[in-house]
Amino acid sequence: MYFNPTVPHGSNDIKLALTNFSCRDTADDSYEWQNDPYIKGMSEDDGCLAYRQTIVDRAEDDDDLGKIWLDDSVGALLTALEDAGILDNTIFLFQEDHGMDTKSALYENGIRIPQFIHYPDKIDPLTTFDGPVSTVDIAATMLDYAGITPSYELDGQSWKDVIGNDEKESYWKNERCLFFEVEQDRAVRCGCYKYIDIFNSSSTTYQRGNQKGLANNLDGNLFDLCDGTDEYITEDNNNREIVDIELEDVVSLVEICFFFQSHDR
């Protein structure tokens, strides 16, 4: 199942939805559900309106409303799986769709997001995976766990057999390249190094760079995301995309970056 809630978005009036609408309302104004849905942990015996009021009551301010609503809905899904006796044998993958600080741009805090996996029957609790993965890897990985071989080549790769394999994980972490695109801008990351090619000064990536004080040169931007170490820098006060590094310093990326810049979009 693909579950894509929209309630955390600040652009929508969540409080209005909670107080002026019910679970019976639909996007089609001419149709309304006849009864409240029964959802354990949410709209149970007291009904939908009573549940929605609990969200308002629990929130310290309006910014909490979407977070509480989302947390309840994810909890209801997990409860349903648990009650059906299949929670431990269900792959549960949770992630954001994008970062917030430089949304719609190619900087790390716009495209790098957390991803959580819950699958006790196959993946031990507290397991971590240090290699970057992409959303295009999800289909390949889920099909791999399901024992399904697709009849066509997928863009992504499965990380099923990478978990617990130090050699494979080292490749994903230090050598595998991931590619990104927004508008006419392009980026590639290989291990610690990342290259951003900005098409022109009207792009969102260029404008976000101006807003956040990040490097946004139109002739290319190369970054060392590990700051000379072997580990990705996560401290908020050490953004590695503020100042780019010289291309000649990274021999392994020269050919990739040259290819990246020289081909038509």
Q: Does the pLDDT value for residue 10 go beyond 70?
A: no
Interior CA angle at 190 toward 187 and 196, to 5°?
A: 20
pLDDT value of position 265: 42
| 3-class DSSP assignment, residue 196 | strand
pTM of the entire predicted model: 0.82
Interior CA angle at 242 toward 132 and 169, to 5°?
A: 15
Q: How confident is the model at residue 187 (pLDDT cuts 50, 70, 90)?
A: very high
Q: Does the pLDDT value for residue 263 go beyond 80?
A: no
- Radius of gyration over alpha carbons of the chain, in Å? 22
Percent of the chain with pLDDT over 70: 91
Average pLDDT for 135-148:
95
Domain segments of the chain as ranges: 14-84, 108-262
Dihedral of CA 21/27/32/37: which sign? negative
Pick the residue with more confidence: 164 or 265?
164
- State pLDDT tens for residues 103-130: 999 999 999 988 999 999 999 988 988 8
Count of helices and strands (H, E) across the chain: 8, 6
- State pLDDT tens for residues 42-56: 888 788 888 999 999
pLDDT value of position 264: 45
Q: Does the pLDDT value for residue 198 go beyond 90?
A: yes
Q: Does the pLDDT value for residue 60 go beyond 70?
A: yes
- CA 264 to CA 186: how far, in whole Å? 11
Query: At 58, which helix (H) or strand (E)?
Result: helix 48-58
Average pLDDT for 81-86:
96
- State pLDDT tens for residues 210-252: 999 999 999 889 999 999 898 998 887 888 999 888 665 555 5
Pick the residue with more confidence: 260 or 246?
246
Mean pLDDT of the chain: 87
- Cβ–Cβ under 8 Å, residues 66 and 8: yes
| 3-class DSSP assignment, residue 25 | strand
